[in-house]
């Protein structure tokens, strides 16, 4: 008796950057693992506790959001048409003055719900009050890699506090929750603070999730101020000796890429192209990054810059952005975009062996995508449709860790009414914005 | 007795590039015109033949697709990850060898259906067998500005033939169908052919829809070959003396912009940013174009480059693309993006006085958009949500020319099953591709 039989799907398979579709195939799930992928008909549906009739839907790995600040959905649409300095100093950091643990608990649920509807089953989240974020993840049934954000201006004591958080939550919720140390950025964390964080990471066996070289201007400012790039600062302070998620890395020099490519610990690059476009930040040349062996993961960043938590958009914008940047439409092909969205994002997330692939033995994070809509017709290429035509609304069913958390667009874990009942009455308070009171100042 | 009462909507209003929302307002429609926009409650619903309860949905003008080749949806997903030369010579022009009038009739319906679902009520379409496209538009209940594509290699006789088409269909379907002359491009039409087309346009009072300066490379090739830019060729051959829709115009020189800005007839620029990104074509600097008084309209191009016929995507990519291109997030703001999508697209389409605005006396092309989805919550800014969060799937109801053509996502005019029953059996024939047999060769 299997736990879940996904019946008669189009199963997406990616190998060596080649994408294929297994038509009319079943996926069998026992516990939280995939135990078989086989032609429909080999298993009688009566041998499954739950049968999900996929009938031509595409089965693919759940998306992995490698860089986000999920509870920022609370301020969605509130930092528009401004450049990065103003965005930080006039919007985000004044607004974040208002944040309470309860806001994180409910804001996290709101964002998790949006992500579930978009087929995102895991998120690497970098934010505050992360015990409350963890409780929201427990409830949602998704995976998360949680890091408590730190500015060095808040003192060295944070490092032990967040290390406690890391140890308290790592492996909880049947392993769905993992944890990470999360210093904000080299421009908001002094060298001593970064060094102490790196030492703590080694001591407790944790990874590090940090923003770095977000723009070319940041790299230039760092070079002028101290003669080192932000990536070189990470190297010198020991950050790169831990498994690391580096968010953005748009302002990397050729030497920076060399440094990253020879780092002994795994380094992953998280990319949030909608945020970069909206803030006019430029794009990293991912074609080169990938040639140097650096894995690239998709991210949404927070919803005040990205507006949505939708990795279909991030995937599409990643592919299109690289074609524009390199002026070569042969770059970042459909199979490459799908590889980045699945296997490479899993690698950046630190679970490359267990996630991002539909194969026997992998964790059962599977989404079912309806490609029967008129915007997919005629379905000349399933893989082209996944990259360029699919909307979050086409995701029908979401399985995470062997549990169905959304079925035919009905949520099984979170309740929209309950979430909005908690969030909406707080919005007048949360929208207050006094830019003489901000949690930090952007001056990289 | 009014014909349609749209009740309790959030009505989008744009004036001088400022966007406002009238909350809890009704829109009254009589015949094919808007006769009032007023606070909910002023008219008793019993005084309307049809009441559409919008209840918090956003009412905005139907989108206008200013440049498309709608029946190309038939080959959706079939020209991926290749550059422009190969895209034309190895994919599009060999595939178009297969095209029959019947393919246009059904392919047009397929694309119109996708556009209706995305809230597009008008399309400027540039393609072949346009009598059949016109019949599809009659059936769909949308508007269209139809042009029969011409290459000069097919002979001067085409000009009279398409002029006949123009005169036969202009003003048909209660004025929903308008027509235009459609020479393909300066690189596929000799000067004599363009001159004769311009003369015919003047003779019959028609406008002209043409591709021009699609890339910087095309402009350079033209300069090398004949010492004139493609825009200068249009000027010299008299094309710009007719009201003109210019598709793409990415490779415009400063002098070209000057030429266009002083043209005596109205000139509109159609922009299809998803196509440009996918083909690595670069972006035009629309901030400058608009400063010179050139109106910009949104387009989808054909679905072999654009994959979808979705102007939400085009609007979003236009705003984001300009911020990236100019490295300034203050450019192409949300109100500007909405103005381009509505009033300016209407101007490019040649009906700026009648379309693109919800106001008394305007033609009743109205769409209702659901912003209650979790990806809009909390709804801190309706206008930000329209530009950055809304998906085609959020469009609930579509009214064109005073007729409801989709209500609560149920189509009233077209039938998906019927369309697919006609299209799918043709696909094996339509997908044949022999690049020694193409309808034209790309060598600008």
The nearest CA of chain B is from the CA of A78 a distance in Å of: 7
Domain boundary among B349, B373, B402: B349
Q: How confident is the model at residue A243 (pLDDT cuts 50, 70, 90)?
A: very high
The nearest CA of chain B is from the CA of A199 a distance in Å of: 38
Q: ipTM of this predicted complex?
A: 0.97
Based on the domain organization, do A297 and A404 belong to the same domain? no
Domain-embedded: residue B434: no
pLDDT given for residue B214 in this prediction? 98
d(CA B134, CA A276): 42
Interface subset of B 309-338, CB within 8 angstroms of A: 309-310, 319-321, 323-324, 326-331, 333-334
pLDDT for A30-42, tens place per residue? 999 999 999 999 9
Is B73 in CB contact (< 8 Å) with chain A? Answer: yes
- 3 state SS of B380: coil
Domain-embedded: residue A217: yes
Vertex A158 angle, CA A252 and A146, to 5°: 65
Among B83, B307, B320, select the one facing A277 at the smallest CB separation. B320
Domain-embedded: residue A421: no
Q: How confident is the model at residue A437 (pLDDT cuts 50, 70, 90)?
A: confident
pLDDT given for residue B435 in this prediction? 78
Among B309, B392, B424, select the one facing A391 at the smallest CB separation. B392
CA dist A219 → A66, A226, A230, A252, A326 (Å): 22, 11, 6, 7, 21
Among A77, A374, A379, select the one facing B380 at the smallest CB separation. A77
pLDDT given for residue B58 in this prediction? 98
Based on the domain organization, do A11 and A115 belong to the same domain? no
CATH of the domain at B212: 3.20.20.140
Q: Which residue has the tokens 């031509």?
A: A56
Interface subset of B 223-262, CB within 8 angstroms of A: none
Phi, psi of B252 (to 5 degrees): -95, 135
Average pLDDT, chain A: 97
Domain-embedded: residue A288: yes
Based on the domain organization, do B209 and B338 belong to the same domain? yes
CA dist B134 → B144, B169, B173, B308 (Å): 8, 8, 9, 21
pLDDT given for residue B437 in this prediction? 87
Domain-embedded: residue B356: no
Is A381 in CB contact (< 8 Å) with chain B? Answer: yes
pLDDT given for residue A364 in this prediction? 98
- 3 state SS of A389: coil
Based on the domain organization, do A52 and A190 belong to the same domain? no
Based on the domain organization, do B405 and B314 belong to the same domain? no
Q: Quick check: B307 and A389 in contact, CB under 8 A?
A: yes
pLDDT given for residue B353 in this prediction? 98
pLDDT for A40-67, tens place per residue? 999 999 999 999 999 999 999 999 999 9
Is B217 in CB contact (< 8 Å) with chain A? Answer: no
Based on the domain organization, do B132 and B234 belong to the same domain? yes
Element (H, E) at B162: helix B157-169
d(CA A311, CA A334): 15
Based on the domain organization, do B89 and B195 belong to the same domain? yes
- Listed residue (B113, B5, B7) closest to B402, CA to CA: B5
Q: How confident is the model at residue A434 (pLDDT cuts 50, 70, 90)?
A: confident
Looking at the structure of chain A, the number of domains it has is: 2
Based on the domain organization, do A179 and A70 belong to the same domain? yes
pLDDT for A313-350, tens place per residue? 999 999 999 999 999 999 999 999 999 999 999 999 99
pLDDT given for residue A294 in this prediction? 98
**Whether residue B387 has pLDDT greater than 90:** yes
Element (H, E) at B406: strand B403-407
Based on the domain organization, do A191 and A257 belong to the same domain? yes
User: Does the beta-carbon distance from A329 to B420 stay under 8 Å?
Assistant: no
pLDDT given for residue A436 in this prediction? 82
**Whether residue A224 has pLDDT greater than 90:** yes
What's the mean pLDDT in A288-305? 98
Cα end-to-end span (Å), chain A = 58
Domain-embedded: residue A417: no
What's the mean pLDDT in B163-178? 98
CATH of the domain at B406: 2.30.40.10
Based on the domain organization, do A311 and A384 belong to the same domain? no
Domain-embedded: residue A430: no
User: Does the beta-carbon distance from B378 to A310 stay under 8 Å?
Assistant: no
pLDDT for B55-69, tens place per residue? 999 999 999 999 999
**Whether residue B327 has pLDDT greater than 90:** yes
Domain of B332 in residue numbering reads as 63-349
Q: Quick check: A58 and A358 in contact, CB under 8 A?
A: no
Q: Which residues of B touch A80 (CB under 8 A)?
A: 333-334, 381, 384
Q: Which two tokens stand for residue A414?
A: 């979170």
Is the bond preceding B378 in cis, omega lying within 30 degrees of 0?
A: yes
d(CA B126, CA B67): 7
Based on the domain organization, do A34 and A177 belong to the same domain? no
What's the mean pLDDT in B96-104? 97
Based on the domain organization, do B124 and B203 belong to the same domain? yes
Domain-embedded: residue B173: yes
d(CA A339, CA A347): 11
User: Does the beta-carbon distance from A377 to B110 stay under 8 Å?
Assistant: yes
Cα Rg of chain B, angstroms: 21
């Amino acid at each position: 008796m299997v736990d879940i039989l996904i019946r008669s799907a189009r199963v997406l398979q990616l190998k060596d950057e080649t994408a294929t579709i297994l038509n009319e195939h079943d996926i069998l799930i026992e516990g939280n693992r995939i135990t078989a992928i086989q032609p429909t008909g080999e298993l009688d549906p009566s041998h499954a506790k739950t049968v999900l009739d996929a009938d031509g839907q595409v089965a693919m790995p759940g998306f992995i959001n490698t860089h986000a600040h999920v509870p920022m959905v609370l301020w969605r649409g509130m930092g528009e048409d401004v450049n990065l300095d103003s965005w930080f100093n006039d919007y985000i950091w004044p607004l974040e003055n208002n944040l309470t643990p309860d806001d994180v608990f409910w804001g996290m649920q709101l964002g998790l719900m949006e992500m579930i509807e978009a087929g995102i089953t895991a998120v690497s989240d970098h934010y505050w009050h992360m015990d409350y974020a963890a409780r929201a993840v427990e409830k949602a049934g998704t995976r998360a890699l949680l890091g408590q954000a730190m500015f060095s201006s808040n003192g060295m004591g944070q490092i032990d506090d967040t290390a406690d958080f890391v140890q308290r939550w790592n492996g909880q919720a049947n392993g769905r929750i993992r944890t990470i140390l999360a210093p904000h950025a080299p421009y908001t964390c002094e060298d001593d603070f970064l060094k102490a964080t790196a030492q703590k990471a080694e001591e407790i066996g944790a990874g590090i999730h940090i923003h770095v070289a977000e723009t070319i201007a940041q790299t230039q400012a760092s070079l002028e101020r101290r003669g080192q790039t932000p990536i070189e600062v990470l190297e010198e302070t020991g950050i790169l000796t831990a498994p690391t998620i580096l968010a953005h890395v748009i302002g990397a020099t050729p030497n920076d890429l060399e440094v990253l490519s020879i780092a002994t610990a795994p380094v992953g690059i998280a990319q949030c192209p909608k945020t970069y476009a909206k803030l006019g930040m430029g794009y990293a040349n991912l074609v080169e990054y990938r040639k140097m062996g650096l894995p690239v993961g998709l991210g949404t960043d927070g919803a005040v810059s990205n507006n949505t938590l939708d990795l279909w958009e991030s995937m599409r914008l990643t592919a299109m952005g690289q074609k524009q940047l390199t002026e070569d439409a042969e770059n970042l092909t459909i199979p490459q975009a799908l590889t980045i969205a699945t296997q490479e994002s899993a690698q950046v997330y630190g679970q490359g062996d267990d996630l991002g692939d539909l194969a026997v033995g992998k964790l059962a994070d599977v989404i079912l995508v309806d490609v029967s809509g008129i915007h997919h017709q005629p379905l000349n290429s399933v893989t082209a449709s996944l990259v360029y035509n699919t909307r979050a609304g086409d995701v029908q069913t979401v399985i995470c860790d062997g549990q169905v958390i959304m079925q035919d667009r009905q949520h099984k874990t979170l309740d929209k009414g309950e979430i909005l009942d908690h969030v909406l009455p707080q919005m007048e308070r949360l929208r207050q914005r006094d830019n003489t009171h901000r949690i930090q100042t952007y001056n990289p």
